[in-house]
């Protein structure tokens, strides 16, 4: 997102997304130096790669032998706890394994189970930093970022030499728009333990500040580090594919998505991403089949909405409406398990012109919970679609202040400028979006092509 330019090689001494006019320049410049000097330095030496390979397993598997499925690990731990209900460490590991099951299945009820056993672990040992950081990662999954930050900081105090709490702290700070602090946390995490988790965070940070080639390099390190566990390995391929897709490299993206599905057959995140790549090259029947499989595996709102959009653009409006109608029920299920989805649901409603007044209110709530560049962008889009374009412009500017290269945010900025009557500036933004990724949105890329003329 266009903001102050970020130098590829920042001067010495001089992530995830957010805000303000004069602070923009100061924060962006400070972030580049402090963060790129540490975690954002390329870690491509043979020694770094060897260390990553030795240490790269997802954190939830700490204490387990590699090669087992998460379901088998859960069964083992439950058996241990039946034999010894006072086994505090097994409660902690079970809580982390439950979170991995939530990630693999999309069933939010695993979150509630995770919270229960992690709190049981802390009742047995209040200083178990791994259980505290597990509650922090659970809060992140539920989009409760301030709670996640407090838990991450508590875990870091309990064990400042473990990398895991720094990941929780950094992730929370990113979503709260505190990028300089977030990057410092990721810097420390990467120094303590180069791994899949730290490389992925480095990649995302580089992506946020517009250093796409460097983000790809870091994500390739995460791919290399993802050994011994199918779902984390598949996840890294999907993330690498998304970096390619976001920059119009559709064939490269599709290759990574198919690799993810080879590693983890039926992987919903891979199926959803593959559907986007297939649609981008006009293979709509295949795209619909892939998205349907994703929805059947994990009915997340974004998958259901994407399937509805595919039906809509292929002339099946009734089928599209049926998919859109499911999203409210899914949101209620997520909320029942503690997951906040205000920003995501607001984005869906604004994209589809549904209950715009309600969508705007939700966007405000979502941004308050998540004052990041994503929060700014969704609120700007909601304001613009509600005709409040002068109010939208400052938020759109803040959404782009880190220098992120994101075609959808470029399009939103163009929409705001067009709404304000700034035709020339609007065309520039629409062309910029299409140049970066001509397939950035099933619904809105055609409008960008029309308005860019």
- Contact between 5 and 403 (Cβ < 8 Å): yes
Q: Is residue 249 included in any domain, yes or no?
A: no
> Looking at the domain assignment, is residue 147 inside a domain?
no
Q: Examine residue 419 and state whether it is found in any structural domain, yes or no.
A: yes
Question: Of the candidates 39, 52, 47, 46, which has an alpha carbon nearest to the alpha carbon of residue 227?
Answer: 52
Residue 131 forms part of a structural domain? no
Give which of 40, 414, 406, 364 is closest to 202, Cα–Cα.
Answer: 40
Q: 88 lies in a domain? A: no
Residue 175 within any structural domain of the chain: no
User: Terminal CA-to-CA distance of the chain, rounded, Å?
Assistant: 22
Query: Tell me, what CATH number does 325's domain have?
Result: 1.25.40.10
Alpha-helix runs per DSSP H in 314-388: 317-336, 342-352, 356-369, 373-385
Residues 6+ apart with CB under 8 A from 318: none
Give the angle 320-325-330 at the CA atoms, nearest 5°.
120
pTM of the predicted protein model: 0.83
Positive or negative, the CA dihedral 74, 79, 82, 85 is: negative
| Tens digits of pLDDT across the chain (453 residues) | 333 222 222 223 333 333 222 222 222 222 322 233 333 333 333 322 222 222 333 344 443 333 458 889 999 999 999 999 999 999 999 999 999 898 888 788 899 999 999 999 999 999 999 999 999 999 999 999 999 999 999 999 999 999 999 999 999 999 999 999 999 999 999 999 999 999 999 999 999 999 999 999 999 999 999 877 788 899 999 999 999 999 999 999 999 999 999 999 999 999 999 999 999 999 999 999 999 999 999 888 899 999 999 999 999 999 999 999 999 888 888 888 888 889 999 999 999 999 999 999 999 999 999 999 999 999 999 999 999 999 999 999 999 999 999 999 999 999 999 999 999 999 999 999 999 999 999 999 999 999 999
User: How far is 369 from 180, CA to CA, in rounded Å?
Assistant: 19
Q: Note whether residue 226 is domain-resident.
A: no
pLDDT of residue 68: 58
On whether residue 252 sits in a domain, the answer given is no
Do 320 and 313 touch, CB atoms closer than 8 A? no
* Residues of the domain holding 364: 317-451
- Count structural domains, the chain: 1
3-state secondary structure of 67: coil
Question: Which two three-digit tokens encode residue 417?
Answer: 């400028």
């Amino acid at each position: 997102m266009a903001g102050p330019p970020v130098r590829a090689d920042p001067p010495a001494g001089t992530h995830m997304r957010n805000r303000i006019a004069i602070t923009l320049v100061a924060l962006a410049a400070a972030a580049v130096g402090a963060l790129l000097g540490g975690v954002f330095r390329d870690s491509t030496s043979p020694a770094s790669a060897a260390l990553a390979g030795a240490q790269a397993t997802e954190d939830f598997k700490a204490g387990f032998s590699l090669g087992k499925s998460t379901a088998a690990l859960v069964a083992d731990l439950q058996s241990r706890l039946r034999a010894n209900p006072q086994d505090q460490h097994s409660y902690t590991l079970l809580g982390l394994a439950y979170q991995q099951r939530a990630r693999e299945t999309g069933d939010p009820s695993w979150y509630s189970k995770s919270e229960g056993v992690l709190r049981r672990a802390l009742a047995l040992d209040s200083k178990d930093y791994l259980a505290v950081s597990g509650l922090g990662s659970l809060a992140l999954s539920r989009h409760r970022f301030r709670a996640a930050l407090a838990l991450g900081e508590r875990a870091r105090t309990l064990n400042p030499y473990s990398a895991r709490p720094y990941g929780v702290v950094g992730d929370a700070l990113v979503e709260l728009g505190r990028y300089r602090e977030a990057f410092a946390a990721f810097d420390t995490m990467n120094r303590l333990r180069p791994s899949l988790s730290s490389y992925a965070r480095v990649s995302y940070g580089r992506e946020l500040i517009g250093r796409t080639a460097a983000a790809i390099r870091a994500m390739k390190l995460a791919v290399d580090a993802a050994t011994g566990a199918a779902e984390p390995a598949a996840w890294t391929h999907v993330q690498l594919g998304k970096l390619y897709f976001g920059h119009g490299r559709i064939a490269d993206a599709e290759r990574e998505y198919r690799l993810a599905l080879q590693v983890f057959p039926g992987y919903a995140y891979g199926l959803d991403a593959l559907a986007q790549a297939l649609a981008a090259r006009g293979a709509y029947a295949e795209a619909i089949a892939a998205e349907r499989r994703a929805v059947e595996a994990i009915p997340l709102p974004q998958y259901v909405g994407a399937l509805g959009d595919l039906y809509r653009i292929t002339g099946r409006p009734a089928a599209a409406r049926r998919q859109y109608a499911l999203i409210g029920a899914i949101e209620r299920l997520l909320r029942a398990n503690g997951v906040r989805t205000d920003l995501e649901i607001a984005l869906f409603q604004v994209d589809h012109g549904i209950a715009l007044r309600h969508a705007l209110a939700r966007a405000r709530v979502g941004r308050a919970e998540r004052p990041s560049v994503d929060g700014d962008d969704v609120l700007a889009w909601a304001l613009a679609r509600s005709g409040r374009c002068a109010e939208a412009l400052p938020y759109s500017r803040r959404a782009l202040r880190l220098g992120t290269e994101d075609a959808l945010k470029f399009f939103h900025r163009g929409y705001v400028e067009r709404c304000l009557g700034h035709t020339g500036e609007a065309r520039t933004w629409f062309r910029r979006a299409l140049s970066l990724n001509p397939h950035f949105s099933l619904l809105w890329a055609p409008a960008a092509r029309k308005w860019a003329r």
